[in-house]
Amino acid sequence: MHSPAHESRLRTFLQRGEYVLLIVGFLCLAVVGFQYAQSAIYQGFENYQLDQTLKGRSATVMGYLKSFVMEDSKEETTPPAVAESHEVERVPGAPVDKSLLGRIEIPRLNVSAIIREGVDSKTLSHAVGHVPSTALPGRPGNVAIAAHRDTFFRPVRGIKKDDVIRVVTAAGTYDYKVESMRIVWPSNVSVLKPTPEPSLTLVTCYPFNYIGSAPKRFIVRARQVSTEAAAREVKPGA
């Protein structure tokens, strides 16, 4: 049998162990909470910026802050202008790295996320990424978009054939209808190859519930079914 002194030391050790685990748990929650808050703020401003561009107005931080307290956004007096940060609309050819391309929406799954150029870790921590060298929305070919399975593309696990995927840009809105889903190895880059018809490819890691770096890729292929040109607001006398 253990002596009372030994049992006392064991209880003290276990109690201290509980405190350490609690502190570690709170720190982990704080880190995750900070990351989600940072992502939410980033997505909020980028959505505001895109919406302002679609209206032919400039996007400012003050305007974004005012949008939270203004009951009617039509009261804004910002003069019509396309935000200078939208490099993809100002520069012909390939977009500038990390530039804002638009917003992806999957209505049935309640997905709405900003799309930026690039698939580096920093870009994908805040937004959905457009795979460089693939087609741009509205142009012929294969538009490839990637995101993490545990953030913006978490709901994609429930996607179904014939689901509508919408890509909103300053140039127009493009609707795609899902045709197929499949699982491939990362080495299978054929999914990014150009297509003869306008199409969209979503890429995320698989399995969705895998702990650590998932070994495979979940691929969604959709074809473009409609296009709607962007309508810019023009003020009288502008």
Active-site positions? 148, 205
Burial class (CB in 10 A: 0-12, 13-18, 19+), 180: exposed
Distance CA(117)–CA(100), nearest Å, equals: 7
Handedness of CA 102, 112, 123, 159 (dihedral sign): negative
Distance CA(157)–CA(169), nearest Å, equals: 25
Coil vs helix vs strand at 142: strand
* Structural tokens at position 176: 């795609």
Helix (H) or strand (E) holding 86: none
Coil vs helix vs strand at 152: coil
Torsion of CA 73, 42, 111, 125, to 10 degrees: 170
Distance CA(103)–CA(51), nearest Å, equals: 10
* Structural tokens at position 76: 């804004």
Q: Are 216 and 204 in contact (CB under 8 A)?
A: no
Distance CA(143)–CA(175), nearest Å, equals: 12
